[in-house]
Amino acid sequence: MATSLLALLDDITTLLDDLSVLAKVAARKTAGVVGDDLALNAQQVSGLRADRELPVVWGVAKGSFRNKAILVPAALAISAFAPSAITPLLMLGGAYLCYEGVEKLAPPWLHGLGEASAADPQRTTAAAGTLRDVRALEQVRIRGAVRTDFVLSAEIITITLGTVRGSPFLAQVIVMAVVAVLMTVGVYGLVAVIVKLDDAGLYLSRQPGARAAVGRGILAAAPWFLRALSVAGTAAMFLVGGAILTHGVTALHAGIEQMAAATAVWPGGELWEAAARALLNIAFGIGAGAVVLAGMVLVRRLRR
Protein backbone atom coordinates (compact mmCIF):
# COMPACT_ATOMS: atom_id res chain seq x y z
CA MET A 1 0.00 0.00 0.00
CA ALA A 2 2.74 2.44 1.01
CA THR A 3 4.79 1.43 -2.04
CA SER A 4 1.84 2.12 -4.36
CA LEU A 5 1.25 5.52 -2.74
CA LEU A 6 4.91 6.48 -3.14
CA ALA A 7 4.84 5.35 -6.78
CA LEU A 8 1.72 7.47 -7.38
CA LEU A 9 3.36 10.52 -5.77
CA ASP A 10 6.46 9.96 -7.90
CA ASP A 11 4.32 9.83 -11.06
CA ILE A 12 2.52 13.03 -10.05
CA THR A 13 5.84 14.79 -9.38
CA THR A 14 7.20 13.69 -12.76
CA LEU A 15 4.04 14.89 -14.51
CA LEU A 16 4.24 18.29 -12.78
CA ASP A 17 7.90 18.63 -13.78
CA ASP A 18 7.02 17.81 -17.39
CA LEU A 19 4.14 20.28 -17.34
CA SER A 20 6.41 22.99 -15.92
CA VAL A 21 9.00 22.44 -18.65
CA LEU A 22 6.36 22.41 -21.41
CA ALA A 23 4.72 25.58 -20.08
CA LYS A 24 8.08 27.39 -19.94
CA VAL A 25 8.94 26.38 -23.52
CA ALA A 26 5.50 27.42 -24.77
CA ALA A 27 5.71 30.77 -22.96
CA ARG A 28 9.13 31.46 -24.48
CA LYS A 29 7.96 30.62 -28.00
CA THR A 30 4.85 32.80 -27.72
CA ALA A 31 6.68 35.79 -26.19
CA GLY A 32 6.93 37.59 -29.54
CA VAL A 33 3.21 37.27 -30.23
CA VAL A 34 2.43 38.38 -26.67
CA GLY A 35 4.52 41.52 -27.22
CA ASP A 36 2.50 42.28 -30.34
CA ASP A 37 -0.73 41.57 -28.44
CA LEU A 38 0.31 44.03 -25.73
CA ALA A 39 1.13 46.81 -28.21
CA LEU A 40 -2.07 46.30 -30.18
CA ASN A 41 -4.37 46.30 -27.16
CA ALA A 42 -2.70 49.30 -25.55
CA GLN A 43 -3.30 51.09 -28.84
CA GLN A 44 -6.95 50.02 -28.92
CA VAL A 45 -7.79 51.59 -25.54
CA SER A 46 -5.78 54.79 -25.99
CA GLY A 47 -7.68 58.04 -26.37
CA LEU A 48 -10.55 57.12 -24.02
CA ARG A 49 -11.73 59.15 -21.05
CA ALA A 50 -9.55 58.45 -18.02
CA ASP A 51 -12.43 57.06 -15.94
CA ARG A 52 -13.42 54.66 -18.72
CA GLU A 53 -10.01 53.20 -19.56
CA LEU A 54 -9.98 50.38 -17.00
CA PRO A 55 -13.61 49.31 -17.69
CA VAL A 56 -12.76 49.05 -21.39
CA VAL A 57 -9.58 47.06 -20.62
CA TRP A 58 -11.66 44.73 -18.44
CA GLY A 59 -14.24 44.37 -21.22
CA VAL A 60 -11.53 43.38 -23.72
CA ALA A 61 -9.94 41.02 -21.17
CA LYS A 62 -13.27 39.22 -20.69
CA GLY A 63 -13.57 38.91 -24.46
CA SER A 64 -10.04 37.50 -24.57
CA PHE A 65 -10.93 34.88 -21.96
CA ARG A 66 -13.97 33.93 -24.05
CA ASN A 67 -11.78 33.72 -27.15
CA LYS A 68 -9.40 31.32 -25.45
CA ALA A 69 -12.26 29.29 -23.99
CA ILE A 70 -13.33 28.69 -27.61
CA LEU A 71 -9.86 28.34 -29.11
CA VAL A 72 -8.31 25.84 -26.69
CA PRO A 73 -10.97 23.10 -27.18
CA ALA A 74 -11.16 23.91 -30.91
CA ALA A 75 -7.38 23.62 -31.30
CA LEU A 76 -7.33 20.28 -29.48
CA ALA A 77 -10.20 18.99 -31.65
CA ILE A 78 -8.64 20.20 -34.91
CA SER A 79 -5.28 18.72 -33.92
CA ALA A 80 -6.95 15.38 -33.23
CA PHE A 81 -9.35 15.16 -36.18
CA ALA A 82 -8.25 17.64 -38.88
CA PRO A 83 -4.60 18.69 -38.40
CA SER A 84 -4.34 19.79 -42.05
CA ALA A 85 -6.84 22.61 -41.37
CA ILE A 86 -4.57 24.42 -38.92
CA THR A 87 -2.40 26.15 -41.53
CA PRO A 88 -5.27 27.49 -43.71
CA LEU A 89 -7.06 28.85 -40.64
CA LEU A 90 -3.89 30.56 -39.48
CA MET A 91 -3.40 32.12 -42.90
CA LEU A 92 -6.93 33.52 -42.84
CA GLY A 93 -6.11 35.09 -39.50
CA GLY A 94 -2.86 36.50 -40.86
CA ALA A 95 -4.64 38.01 -43.85
CA TYR A 96 -7.15 39.66 -41.51
CA LEU A 97 -4.37 41.21 -39.42
CA CYS A 98 -2.67 42.61 -42.54
CA TYR A 99 -5.99 43.97 -43.82
CA GLU A 100 -6.68 45.67 -40.49
CA GLY A 101 -3.20 47.21 -40.48
CA VAL A 102 -3.58 48.67 -43.99
CA GLU A 103 -7.06 49.89 -43.08
CA LYS A 104 -5.52 51.97 -40.28
CA LEU A 105 -3.08 53.58 -42.73
CA ALA A 106 -5.49 54.01 -45.64
CA PRO A 107 -8.22 56.51 -44.53
CA PRO A 108 -6.83 59.44 -46.59
CA TRP A 109 -6.93 57.33 -49.76
CA LEU A 110 -10.21 55.65 -48.88
CA HIS A 111 -11.78 59.05 -48.26
CA GLY A 112 -10.87 60.00 -51.80
CA LEU A 113 -12.55 56.82 -53.01
CA GLY A 114 -15.70 57.57 -51.06
CA GLU A 115 -15.07 54.70 -48.67
CA ALA A 116 -14.99 54.82 -44.86
CA SER A 117 -12.55 52.79 -42.85
CA ALA A 118 -13.33 51.26 -39.49
CA ALA A 119 -10.23 53.01 -38.19
CA ASP A 120 -11.17 56.39 -39.72
CA PRO A 121 -11.52 59.07 -37.00
CA GLN A 122 -14.18 60.82 -39.12
CA ARG A 123 -16.29 57.70 -38.96
CA THR A 124 -15.84 57.59 -35.19
CA THR A 125 -16.94 61.23 -34.93
CA ALA A 126 -19.96 60.55 -37.11
CA ALA A 127 -20.85 57.57 -34.97
CA ALA A 128 -20.59 59.75 -31.87
CA GLY A 129 -23.06 62.22 -33.39
CA THR A 130 -25.44 59.40 -34.33
CA LEU A 131 -25.34 57.24 -31.24
CA ARG A 132 -24.74 60.01 -28.68
CA ASP A 133 -23.77 57.30 -26.29
CA VAL A 134 -20.22 56.93 -25.04
CA ARG A 135 -20.90 53.42 -23.77
CA ALA A 136 -22.06 52.32 -27.22
CA LEU A 137 -18.86 53.68 -28.75
CA GLU A 138 -16.87 51.84 -26.10
CA GLN A 139 -18.61 48.62 -27.11
CA VAL A 140 -17.58 49.25 -30.72
CA ARG A 141 -13.97 49.70 -29.56
CA ILE A 142 -14.16 46.59 -27.38
CA ARG A 143 -15.56 44.44 -30.19
CA GLY A 144 -12.77 45.56 -32.53
CA ALA A 145 -10.12 44.80 -29.90
CA VAL A 146 -11.65 41.38 -29.17
CA ARG A 147 -11.64 40.51 -32.89
CA THR A 148 -7.95 41.39 -33.11
CA ASP A 149 -7.29 39.46 -29.90
CA PHE A 150 -8.98 36.41 -31.41
CA VAL A 151 -6.42 36.23 -34.22
CA LEU A 152 -3.43 36.76 -31.91
CA SER A 153 -4.86 34.32 -29.35
CA ALA A 154 -5.26 31.74 -32.11
CA GLU A 155 -1.58 32.20 -32.96
CA ILE A 156 -0.58 31.79 -29.28
CA ILE A 157 -2.73 28.67 -28.89
CA THR A 158 -1.39 27.16 -32.12
CA ILE A 159 2.24 27.75 -31.12
CA THR A 160 1.51 26.19 -27.73
CA LEU A 161 -0.19 23.24 -29.41
CA GLY A 162 2.90 22.68 -31.55
CA THR A 163 5.03 22.70 -28.40
CA VAL A 164 2.97 20.07 -26.54
CA ARG A 165 2.21 17.91 -29.56
CA GLY A 166 3.18 14.32 -28.80
CA SER A 167 2.61 14.74 -25.06
CA PRO A 168 -0.23 12.93 -23.26
CA PHE A 169 -3.63 14.46 -23.88
CA LEU A 170 -4.07 15.53 -20.25
CA ALA A 171 -0.70 17.31 -20.34
CA GLN A 172 -1.73 19.12 -23.55
CA VAL A 173 -4.98 20.33 -21.96
CA ILE A 174 -3.30 21.52 -18.75
CA VAL A 175 -0.41 23.32 -20.45
CA MET A 176 -2.65 25.05 -23.01
CA ALA A 177 -5.09 26.15 -20.30
CA VAL A 178 -2.28 27.48 -18.09
CA VAL A 179 -0.63 29.36 -20.96
CA ALA A 180 -3.99 30.83 -22.07
CA VAL A 181 -4.80 32.13 -18.58
CA LEU A 182 -1.31 33.45 -17.81
CA MET A 183 -0.97 35.20 -21.16
CA THR A 184 -4.36 36.89 -20.83
CA VAL A 185 -3.76 38.05 -17.25
CA GLY A 186 -0.23 39.22 -18.09
CA VAL A 187 -1.15 41.11 -21.26
CA TYR A 188 -4.20 42.92 -19.93
CA GLY A 189 -2.58 43.59 -16.57
CA LEU A 190 0.24 45.37 -18.40
CA VAL A 191 -2.24 47.17 -20.67
CA ALA A 192 -4.03 48.48 -17.57
CA VAL A 193 -0.72 49.74 -16.17
CA ILE A 194 0.22 51.42 -19.46
CA VAL A 195 -3.06 53.29 -19.92
CA LYS A 196 -2.92 54.60 -16.35
CA LEU A 197 0.63 55.94 -16.66
CA ASP A 198 -0.59 59.51 -17.04
CA ASP A 199 -2.79 59.24 -13.93
CA ALA A 200 0.14 57.86 -11.94
CA GLY A 201 2.35 60.68 -13.19
CA LEU A 202 -0.26 63.29 -12.23
CA TYR A 203 -0.55 61.81 -8.74
CA LEU A 204 3.23 61.75 -8.22
CA SER A 205 3.67 65.27 -9.58
CA ARG A 206 1.52 66.55 -6.70
CA GLN A 207 3.68 64.86 -4.08
CA PRO A 208 6.57 66.60 -2.30
CA GLY A 209 10.25 66.07 -3.03
CA ALA A 210 11.74 63.84 -5.67
CA ARG A 211 8.44 62.12 -6.38
CA ALA A 212 7.13 65.28 -8.02
CA ALA A 213 10.05 65.27 -10.48
CA VAL A 214 9.40 61.60 -11.26
CA GLY A 215 5.73 62.37 -11.85
CA ARG A 216 6.53 65.25 -14.19
CA GLY A 217 8.91 62.97 -16.08
CA ILE A 218 6.18 60.34 -16.48
CA LEU A 219 3.69 62.96 -17.68
CA ALA A 220 6.19 64.23 -20.24
CA ALA A 221 7.08 60.76 -21.48
CA ALA A 222 3.60 59.18 -21.46
CA PRO A 223 2.28 60.80 -24.71
CA TRP A 224 5.44 59.83 -26.59
CA PHE A 225 5.27 56.33 -25.17
CA LEU A 226 1.63 55.90 -26.24
CA ARG A 227 2.41 57.24 -29.73
CA ALA A 228 5.28 54.78 -29.98
CA LEU A 229 2.93 51.99 -28.90
CA SER A 230 0.46 53.05 -31.59
CA VAL A 231 3.16 52.81 -34.26
CA ALA A 232 4.41 49.53 -32.80
CA GLY A 233 0.87 48.15 -32.75
CA THR A 234 0.34 48.84 -36.45
CA ALA A 235 3.77 47.43 -37.30
CA ALA A 236 2.95 44.37 -35.19
CA MET A 237 -0.12 43.67 -37.32
CA PHE A 238 2.04 43.53 -40.44
CA LEU A 239 4.84 41.61 -38.74
CA VAL A 240 2.65 38.90 -37.23
CA GLY A 241 0.22 38.72 -40.17
CA GLY A 242 3.01 38.68 -42.75
CA ALA A 243 4.94 36.03 -40.83
CA ILE A 244 1.84 33.81 -40.62
CA LEU A 245 1.24 34.13 -44.37
CA THR A 246 4.86 33.52 -45.37
CA HIS A 247 5.15 30.51 -43.06
CA GLY A 248 2.14 29.01 -44.82
CA VAL A 249 3.89 29.12 -48.22
CA THR A 250 7.02 26.96 -48.08
CA ALA A 251 8.78 28.51 -51.09
CA LEU A 252 8.10 32.06 -49.91
CA HIS A 253 9.28 31.30 -46.38
CA ALA A 254 12.44 29.69 -47.73
CA GLY A 255 13.13 32.72 -49.93
CA ILE A 256 12.76 35.13 -47.01
CA GLU A 257 15.02 32.99 -44.84
CA GLN A 258 17.62 32.89 -47.61
CA MET A 259 17.58 36.66 -48.10
CA ALA A 260 17.75 37.25 -44.34
CA ALA A 261 20.60 34.77 -43.98
CA ALA A 262 22.60 36.70 -46.61
CA THR A 263 22.95 39.58 -44.11
CA ALA A 264 24.50 37.31 -41.47
CA VAL A 265 27.98 37.90 -42.95
CA TRP A 266 27.83 41.55 -41.90
CA PRO A 267 29.20 42.66 -38.51
CA GLY A 268 26.59 41.87 -35.87
CA GLY A 269 25.15 39.35 -38.30
CA GLU A 270 22.46 37.89 -36.02
CA LEU A 271 20.89 41.29 -35.45
CA TRP A 272 20.96 42.13 -39.15
CA GLU A 273 19.44 38.76 -40.00
CA ALA A 274 16.60 39.20 -37.51
CA ALA A 275 15.97 42.77 -38.72
CA ALA A 276 15.95 41.70 -42.38
CA ARG A 277 13.54 38.86 -41.65
CA ALA A 278 11.19 41.20 -39.77
CA LEU A 279 11.29 43.88 -42.50
CA LEU A 280 10.60 41.33 -45.23
CA ASN A 281 7.63 39.94 -43.31
CA ILE A 282 6.33 43.47 -42.68
CA ALA A 283 6.69 44.35 -46.38
CA PHE A 284 4.83 41.21 -47.41
CA GLY A 285 2.16 41.93 -44.78
CA ILE A 286 1.61 45.44 -46.14
CA GLY A 287 1.31 44.08 -49.68
CA ALA A 288 -1.09 41.32 -48.64
CA GLY A 289 -3.21 43.75 -46.61
CA ALA A 290 -3.37 46.16 -49.54
CA VAL A 291 -4.59 43.37 -51.84
CA VAL A 292 -7.29 42.33 -49.36
CA LEU A 293 -8.37 45.94 -48.83
CA ALA A 294 -8.54 46.55 -52.58
CA GLY A 295 -10.72 43.46 -52.88
CA MET A 296 -13.00 44.74 -50.10
CA VAL A 297 -13.33 48.16 -51.78
CA LEU A 298 -14.16 46.47 -55.09
CA VAL A 299 -16.82 44.29 -53.45
CA ARG A 300 -18.40 47.32 -51.79
CA ARG A 301 -18.54 49.16 -55.11
CA LEU A 302 -20.04 46.17 -56.90
CA ARG A 303 -22.69 45.87 -54.18
CA ARG A 304 -23.81 49.41 -54.96
Between 235 and 10, residue with greater pLDDT:
235
Q: What integer pLDDT is reported at residue 291 of this predicted model?
A: 93
Per-position DSSP letters for 57-85, written without gaps between them: HHHHHHHHHHHHHHHHHHHHHHHHH-GGG
Mean pLDDT of 49-77: 85
pLDDT tens-digit map of 181-192 = 888 888 888 888
Mean pLDDT of 295-300: 87
Angle at 175 between CA 171 and CA 176, to 5 degrees: 115
Domain of residue 101 covers 2-303
Measured distance CA(146)–CA(41) in Å, rounded: 9
Residue 30: pLDDT above 50? Answer: no
Give the range among 68-72, 93-97, 119-123 with minimum mean pLDDT.
119-123
How many distinct structural domains can be found in the chain? Answer: 1
Distance of alpha carbon 242 from its chain centroid, rounded?
13
Between 36 and 159, residue with greater pLDDT:
159
147: three-class secondary structure by DSSP: helix
Between 97 and 221, residue with greater pLDDT:
221
Residue 130: pLDDT above 80? Answer: no
Measured distance CA(108)–CA(237) in Å, rounded: 19
Cα torsion angle, 69, 71, 76, 81, sign: positive
Percent of the chain at pLDDT exceeding 90: 7
Residues whose CB is less than 8 angstroms from the CB of residue 215 and which lie 6 or more positions away in sequence, other chains included: 200, 201, 202, 203, 204, 205, 206, 207
Between 73 and 179, residue with greater pLDDT:
73
pLDDT tens-digit map of 149-160 = 887 788 778 777
